[in-house]
Amino acid sequence: MTSRAEALLVQTCMKRKGHRYWVAAPLDEDETRSFGYVMDDVAWAQAHGYGSRIKQKVLRAKKSDRNLSYRAGLSTRAARTYVTDLAGGPGSEVMAVRLPAGGQIRLATGGCEGEAVRKLYGDQEQWFRADKIATNLTPLYVPDLVADQRFKTAQSRWAACMRAAGHPYRTPADIRSALPEVTSGRSAAQAYRMEVRLAVAEATCARRTGFGDTLRALEEEHSAPVRERYRAEIAKRDQLERAALRRAEQILNH
């Protein structure tokens, strides 16, 4: 909801500056789902495999983005103005956030994109900092999680289930890595059927062995100290997001 409202705010701002701007159609809710280390939703796997067709749909939408073709049709000077009005020019302020596990993310705050974020979230700097910290905590606890004997035991049970089903993979990541080679040389339809078959097997074994449930429990346990350490940032992110959702609802219903 917030992403669409943000795009509508960008559209309003760009029109005010004399540009045309199109808002892309949103994906279905089922298409925006994401999975962590292991897939354990059998129904989703049966319907989408590992989501390759969804990714292709998103890629096609990006390639056919009317904003890109519109900008490509502008003169060099007009295109430069368009980009500046959209994202801010060379003089725009740049925010930087240092991530908990190291590294830094930077963001230009100018243009209609910056204006849209400020209107939706209120304080752009607070939102950017809180959001980037709260959503980049996994590297702090994942090493301990995967070293946990309970994780190793659950994954071994899953691997045994997969071998019994005719898929000798040690980890879910091994399947994703092997998928391009496994489907190579096949027609698009055959490749997709193979993708679905592997995804369903992975999800079925994750359910049958309790790997998915174990992983969620371990993630809750190992992430708890990290979330406590960054509770202020998480609380600020949640607060700003709740306010943004209320504003987004008003924008979409306007």
pLDDT in tens, 176-206: 999 999 999 999 999 999 999 999 999 999 9
Q: Residue 97: which region, alpha, beta or left (left: phi > 0; alpha: psi -120 to 50)?
A: beta
C-alpha span between 136 and 98 (Å, rounded): 10
Q: Is 134 exposed, middle or buried (0-12, 13-18, 19+ CB in 10 A)?
A: buried
C-alpha span between 249 and 254 (Å, rounded): 8
pLDDT in tens, 130-169: 999 999 999 999 999 999 999 999 999 999 999 999 999 9
Amino acid in the structure at residue 57: K
> Which pTM value belongs to this model?
0.86
Distances (CA, A) of 231 to 122, 127, 215: 20, 15, 22
Instruction: Give the start-to-end residue ranges of the domains of the chain.
Output: 1-24+65-134, 36-58+137-243
